[in-house]
Structure 1
């Protein structure tokens, strides 16, 4: 308590004696700014709190705080999340559950329909609903924070994109049963074959967009705004490129399938590399510690 009281950014400390049943003991509640939370986590790690069943740590975000002595700190504070908050957010949004499996299946099928009809808005819809960015960024987070998150991220990456492939294959079979060639590149409102060419081509422009999107996504996660990473997906070719890979493969178009898979692989590597860069920068200059529980 003495150390906590001296930290800059502490708004209030409350101690309730003996009120906790599990784990048994006292409850300490601390109101603080985001930068102070990072300092608090360093102190907790110093005393190894939260690393056994004798103590537990949880964090929550208040909607507003009024404290005249700390008004200046509260109005100037920056938004930063701890490793634990980042990982918890990514777990919630990208764990392989029945919900995420259904979302990825629908995303693959919708993207296949959008590509086949040359309808950009339909493909964007698939990109927005697919939790396809988070598993890759979890790999980078786990590596930098020295946690096992990278293993779960890798496992979820493989499983979720396999489900997306099944969704794309299902839509392709539907088109074939109707006697329609799925990659016929109907004119649509963008011109014939524009979408297909864009998502099967790797060039300087597409690479720059992928790099900027990867950086933006990692920054959003580090500031606990992961809900906005759905927008980042529209700058990446993860969903349409994998969808086209499957569609072309089923149609025997090996060249298009290979080009689309290369585009998908480039985007995956880009997200992974720049997630590592952003999280490493955060660890060096902001977090200054590894995750508490490995």
Structure 2
């Protein structure tokens, strides 16, 4: 293949990925007119229309999709090999972006990765806090953290934390005044601190399980609502109602007497946090260091 064809195919892939000549031109550091001329020249040589252009968007034609399906894996292989050569140096280097909920960042990621930053000065880690089911490619993140049963198919999943459970807690003064719920259905008579999920804006349904293993989901109400878990815990400590929070997050407050648990028999354990990333991704030297540090042992 002629060398100019390779450059033209790179340009085609950029336009198709960005869905915009303007953004693709900025990414390739060329003018928009030059990029448009490149694509037209490629189409003329092939005798095919590869992109459909409108005033608002750009999208590959059927022929363009077919060509991209062939060349993109080749480009990925080349890029992976170049990264491997770059990573063959003695010192791990690079940036790793991880998306996770606040609790996972504070309780697992940071404690395990803080020593890594000291040991490897050329390794950078960026934490992105998000309670939604973030698309790694769209968010330009290398990996994400979810509970084990929430990891999507097609992803490599690695356990990074022990099994967890959510427990129902309340301040002693609140429970003394309002009474202790005996079953999850009793929560309708209580003030509860809500968590709003960023994924679709809905309130989090409290999940329990009876002695036979049947799932119980309860919608609760109350005056306070947050979209991260730490303020939920704080509101419960301050006596604003019951809260459903990770057990490890609440343990110190329970032991100190600031909170009491209830509905313990309805709070099952479930698979703990897992790091997930695309199966086709070849770990860089920096990412490999992160994997080794986060891997759950014992």
Question: How high is the TM-score relative to the length of structure 1?
Answer: 0.31
Whose radius of gyration is greater, 1 or 2? 2
Question: How high is the TM-score relative to the length of structure 2?
Answer: 0.30
Pick the structure with more strand per residue: 2
